[in-house]
Amino acid sequence: MSIPSFGVGTFRLTGQTVIDSVRNALDVGYRAIDTAQIYGNEAEVGQAIAASGVKRDELFITTKIWTDSYARTKLIPSLRESLDKLRTDRVDLTLIHWPAPGNGVALPEFMEALAEAKSQGLTRQIGISNFNIELTRQAVAVVGEGEIATNQIELSPYLQSRKLTAFLKEEGIHVTSYMTLAYGKVLKDAVLAEIAHKHQATVAQVALAWALQLGYAVIPSSTKRENLASNLLAQDLKLDADDMARIAQLERNGREVNPEGLAPAWD
């Protein structure tokens, strides 16, 4: 089992908007879909999948457990609710959404519950999201080496998190990049625009290709069918060493998502 390198995200998309986005994504070739309990759109994602006609075995569905369901007695029931909404008997990947230190549920408790969900066949793989190095170490200590499939973290040309990503690579934990376009801020970057012009590509394709070439999975979202299709073409874009070096210099610790009480102390 592995993590697909390219998927479609559904953060901030609800109602008919997310139904249309997932339908269009599946229609243009996406087969990995990322959602979460807190997004409030699992039922609509499930509806779009069901209507698409794409076979379940061809899909890779990820959801994330929200903080109010971290307790041992709540995690598995909450995941079963997610499965009902998604109209499936299991997801391919389930993540702890945020470490939420001070949430009242200790890390060993929710990681053990997540591992139990896997043992019950509710999810094929388990992982974490927004964990720093120390918390990732603690999670591995609970569930064992090789059990954590990915750490889904914010990454973009403006936030490259080299220390954390190097650690994850050493541990054999796949990196999934979210917010790769930094809420669209990188789309206005002059350096990325020059690289895009050189390759006759879009700036979004350049940013996504950068992440892909570093070995990360990406899950960009869009409400526009043409952008969904265009983003997929990043898989065919090969940046050269000079391009990658120029993008490396764009690092500015440009973190967009850092909710108080949920986020860890970042490396």
Tokens representing 27 are 């229609």
Catalytic pick from 30, 39, 70, 178?
A: 39
Q: Do 98 and 266 contact (CB within 8 A), yes or no?
A: no
Tokens representing 13 are 């998309």
Annotated binding residue 97 = yes
Which of 206, 208, 141, 136 is closest to 174 using CA atoms?
136
How many residues are given for the chain? 267
Ramachandran region, residue 63 (left: φ > 0; alpha: ψ -120 to 50; beta: rest): beta
Establish whether 216 is a catalytic residue: no
- Residue 242 burial (CB count, 10 A): 10
DSSP 128: E
The dihedral built from the CA positions of residue 54, 60, 231 and 37, taken in this order, carries a sign that is positive
Alpha carbon distance 101, 87 (integer Å): 32
Annotated binding-site members: 97
Annotated binding-site members for substrate: 97
Catalytic residue numbers read 39
